[in-house]
Amino acid sequence: MAKAAKKAPSKTEILSNIATATDLPKKKVAEVLEALAAEIKKNLSSRGPGIFALHGLVKIEKKKVPARPPQKNWMNPFTKQLEDRPAKPASVKVKVRALRALKDMVA
């Protein structure tokens, strides 16, 4: 028989694991995680630098993607037919990269 797939831990499980490891109450651990989320939001907002690094673990970057104009008689590479491609509005991409310490933990 096939083994059951392992599931990612829930938020409650993460909070309780951190609370037991640090001897802090779950409420304080939840406050710390909320403060971390607020700090990430502040750094990635329009007034922030656009980069947030949790040193050694992850680096979160924001990249503005410019608008794409519409194109007439664009050849679809899959069907080889000419099509009209609609315009695409400008958007923001978020890129999350694993840094060395996280890569070493997994390897």
Residue at token pair 């315009």: 87
Give residue-wise pLDDT tens across range 89-99: 999 999 999 99
Q: Are residues 59 and 97 in the same domain?
A: yes
Q: Are residues 38 and 60 in the same domain?
A: no
- Contact, 30 vs 50, CB < 8 A? no
Is there a domain that residue 107 lies in? yes
Question: Which contacts of 97-104 are long-range, i.e. CB under 8 A and separated by 24 or more positions?
Answer: 97/58, 97/59, 97/60, 97/61, 98/57, 98/58, 99/53, 99/55, 99/56, 99/57, 99/58, 99/59, 100/56, 101/56, 101/57, 102/56, 102/57, 102/58
Q: Are residues 101 and 69 in the same domain?
A: yes
Q: Are residues 89 and 56 in the same domain?
A: yes
Q: Is the pLDDT of residue 23 over 80?
A: yes
Q: Are residues 21 and 33 in the same domain?
A: yes
Question: What is the count of structural domains for the chain?
Answer: 2
**Cα of 32 vs its chain's centroid, Å:** 19
pLDDT at 24: 94
Give residue 25's domain range: 11-49
Is there a domain that residue 2 lies in? no
More confident residue, 6 or 17: 17
Q: Are residues 89 and 59 in the same domain?
A: yes
Confidence of residue 107 (pLDDT cuts 50, 70, 90): confident
Q: Is the pLDDT of residue 22 over 80?
A: yes
Q: Is the pLDDT of residue 3 over 80?
A: no
Q: Is the pLDDT of residue 5 over 80?
A: no
Give residue-wise pLDDT tens across range 44-88: 999 999 999 999 899 999 999 999 999 999 999 999 999 999 999
Q: Are residues 98 and 56 in the same domain?
A: yes
- Contact, 65 vs 94, CB < 8 A? no
Residue at token pair 């907002």: 45
